[in-house]
Structure 1
Amino acid sequence: MPYEIASLNDPSFTLADDLASLAAERSSDKRVELLRRIAEAYATHAEPPVATERYLFNEVISKLVDKLRGSHRVIASDTLAAMKNLPDDLVRSLASDADIAVAQPMIRDYKTMPEPILVDIARTGSQEHLRVIAARDQVTPPVTDVVVERGDNTVVGILAANNGAQFSDAGMRRLVGKAREDRHLQALLVDRKDLSLTAVEYLLPMINEELARRLCANAARANNAAVKTYLAEWLAERKKNAERTDAYIAGIRKGDLNAGDVLRGLFAQGRLCDAATVLASVLSLDRDYTFGVLAGSNLQSALLLMRAATLSWPVVEAFLKLREAKSAEYEYRTPPTRAQYLTLDAGAAQRVVRFAKVRQVTAAAN
């Protein structure tokens, strides 16, 4: 039998009586239906509820939801997410539920979600929880900091595409760092309207000229004079650097220049992209692949490329300094020593490079 409930505006309505009925009901289906009706009536009450009503509602609803399982808990979460000023313990319980079907409505739709609860869920939740958080209408910097740190490629892509997401300087720097080997993420970042000049400086070395021009156009549309000017200067300098890099490669091939000296200078100047182009030429590797290794998170792979090219320790040291300066991800790691680098077998490193070449040829053929 369907439950009938009087309006809260009706003088005969007594919230305590209906909450008592709700607490006493044994059937999960009927509990959920009565919960829904009372929640709707409570939310649309013409007058603000008095302290007693708030206490009763929060007390009974919290205890009831704790007893619900499966689809009934999903319905409860969806119903309550449309309300305001729910007790924090109840919000946390639903939003952090291991079943993402339960957690999603509360994370996505609860407008007055306390920031500390979102931060805690971002720290401990699954990647599914992080995806829902990343897609919220608004995501504040303390939350995005954690989501960027823990999120997989899908999560950070959703976050980067979300114009309602706000980033701290450190969070944006880490997000840009994750884009080093992800062209899709690079494109999403280029289209953001909130990139600072610092973020642009970190992003530019890893994107191609097409994306750089798009970034410049976006800055113009956003009337960001500082970023637009910087980009225009960068594009002009990029053209000059490309010409210089071609000249370096030609000089190395003729034997007029030493590859190690050229690379050490490029690393010291912060020109990682140009250095990758030169190293790729020396090893006969694809430039994008080489850049991805040098800029990627696997330092051992980068050291193997350098050992395969028989580069001296001062060249490697200049690379490590540039790598640390470009990304916060490496600031807390112990850098390798000269002795550790020299223990790498150059012959084994060269075999790794030959294998990489075979894979590149095979991929190109397919």
Structure 2
Amino acid sequence: MQQPAHSIIAELEDAVRGGSSSKRVDTLRQVTDLFLNEGDRLSDDQVQVFDDVLCLLIARVETRAKAELSKRLAPLDYAPFEVIQHLAQDDEIAVAGDVLTHSSRLGTETLIQIASTKGQEHLLAISGRADLPAAVTDVIVDRGEGRVIRKLANNAGAHFSEEGYSAIIARATNDDELIEILGLRVDLPAKFLRDLLRRAKEAVRARLLAIAPPSIREEIRKVLDAIAGEAPAPRRSYGVAEQLVKLMKGLNELDDAAVYNFAEAGKFDEVTVSLAVLNDMPLDLMGRLMEGPRNDLILIPCRSAKLNWPTVESILRNRPNEYPIDEPTLEVAQRDFRKLSMETAQRTVRFWQLHNRIEK
């Protein structure tokens, strides 16, 4: 075994020193073939020789050759350690992807570092790993966009911390597909299932009941029955806030700037009353809207009240409830707000005024 290895190393030195690109790629394939044929019988020192050789070569070959190497080494439990680390850190997902998804040679700290610094394609690849520790999923939940979060939630081998579950369920507020995926996880704790189903539309709840396996279906049914039996919350009293806002309205001081200042100061009783007064809506209705999970519905009275986006953004960012908004969702909200016409918003508000209810 030693002689072939030394022969390959000598050829490598020639390839690196003066060989063409195709020569370097051929040498890389020869080294890889040799390792694949003999790797499971090599000593640690011999594997280290291959590791050194491959690391030298991948620094001097094109993306396509590195991607081929990644695909061939990713499934191997005995793959050379350092070359796997180099491939996983590559900015090109064609190179890093297979290793990030399949290689058992990547430790938790390396995965955390890559998940914290690389882009969405790298996060997507990591999200498909067969066994994913909670320390890694915490980072992905924090940084991942919609498709990444859905893939992660759909991975039965992904483990979540309490904070991770709480955050991913908050991400599901305006994502029916994500609610369905999470609702079908057998490891979702009961308290998080209850929170998830509270956020779900009736149509999503019905679909979950229809597609869930019997063991999960029974648990979903129990939680939905418990939610249905909960006593309605007592009507909020807005007291001084209501008096202040109505006084400002009478003095023609209730405008976009006033609502912005309330939101920035965290005075959300005043924000709620302001939106109710500006839209001539029942205060309890506006209160339910502001305290609920639907960020998209809050855009409607804001547009109808002729608020500007910075004020709406401050309301969405700062409202003190259990439904925090992340940057990707905020970007979607901004696009939706710009598309929402004044006429449509005011027509919707009139519908709410007539029926005194919010469509779920």
TM-score normalised according to structure 2 size: 0.64
The equivalent of 2:35 in structure 1 is 42
| In 2: Cα distance, 1:292 partner to 1:72 partner | 54
Check the 8 A contact 1:100/1:128 in 2, yes or no. yes
Q: Residue 169 of structure 1: CA displacement?
A: 1.4
Contact 2:12 2:27 in 1 (8 A): yes
Tell me the residue number matched to 2:177.
184
Whole-Å separation in 2 of the counterparts to 1:299 and 1:119:
36
| Aligned-partner SS, 1:75 | helix
Task: Report what 1:19 is aligned to.
Answer: 9
Pair 1:209–1:301, CA change in 2 (3 A): closer
Give the superposition deviation at 1:121: 1.0
C-alpha deviation, 1:45, in angstroms: 2.4
Q: Which residue of 2 aligns with 1:295?
A: 293
Quote the Cα distance in structure 1 between the aligned partners of 2:65 and 2:200: 48
Q: Distance in 2 between matches of 1:40 and 1:295?
A: 55
- CA change 1:145–1:189 in 2 (3 A) is same
Q: What is the identity, as a one-letter code, of the residue corresponding to 2:59? A: D
Q: Confirm or deny that 1:130 pairs with 2:123.
A: yes
* Amino acid corresponding to residue 135 of structure 2 in structure 1: P
Is the CA contact (8 Å cut-off) linking 2:75 and 2:103 kept in structure 1? yes
TM-fit CA distance, 1:357:
3.5
Q: CA deviation at 1:71?
A: 1.7
The total of aligned residue pairs comes to: 284
**Contact kept in structure 2, 1:190 and 1:211, CA below 8 Å:** no
Q: Which residue of 2 aligns with 1:342?
A: none
How do residues 125-274 of structure 1 correspond to structure 2 at under 5 angstroms?
A: 125-213=118-206, 215=208, 221-222=214-215, 229-237=222-230, 241=232
Residues 219 and 359 (structure 1), Cα distance of their counterparts in 2 relative to 1, 3 Å cut: closer
Encode CA deviations 1:2-31: one digit per residue, 9 max, x unaligned: xxxxxx5xxx85322223323322233333
SS at match of 2:165: helix
Instruction: Report if aligned partners of 2:70, 2:96 keep a CA contact under 8 Å in 1.
Output: yes
DSSP-derived class of the 1:35 partner: helix
Unmatched tracts of structure 2, length 5 or more: 243-271, 307-314, 327-339, 351-360
How far apart are residue 203 of structure 1 and its match?
A: 0.8
2:51–2:82 Cα contact (<8 Å) kept: no
Pairwise CA RMSD of aligned residues?
4.4
Distance 1:69 1:161 in 2: 34
Give the Cα separation in 1 of the matches to 2:346 and 2:36. Answer: 65
SS, match of residue 163 in structure 1: coil
Alignment check: 8 A CA contact 1:180 1:292 kept: no
The structural deviation recorded for 1:148 is 0.9
Question: Would the alpha carbon gap of residues 55 and 19 (structure 1) be closer, same or farther in structure 2, given more than 3 Å must change?
Answer: same
Identity of aligned residues (%): 24
What is the DSSP-based 3-state SS (H/G/I as helix, E as strand, rest coil) of the residue aligned with 2:59? Answer: helix
How far did residue 131 of structure 1 move? Answer: 1.3
Map of 1:346-361 to 2, 5 A cutoff? 356-357=345-346
Residue 96 of structure 1 contacts residue 121 of structure 1 at CA under 8 Å; is this kept in 2?
A: yes
Q: How does 1:6-155 map to 2 (within 5 A)?
A: 8=1, 13-25=3-15, 26-45=19-38, 48-155=41-148
Conserved in 2, the CA contact under 8 Å of 1:144 and 1:167? yes
Unaligned runs of 5+ in 1: 1-7, 249-256, 265-274, 309-315, 331-350, 362-366
Q: Which deviations, in whole Å up to 9, do the C-alpha atoms of 1:290-332 show, x marking residues without a partner?
A: 8599536799969959999xxxxxxx9xx955x1xx25779xx
Q: Distance in 1 between matches of 2:12 and 2:75?
A: 20
Q: What amino acid is the match of 1:17?
A: S
Q: Secondary structure at the match of 1:67?
A: coil
Q: Which one is further off, 185-194 or 296-305? A: 296-305
Q: Deviations over 1:185-219 (max 9, x none)?
A: 11222222221112113212211234335556777
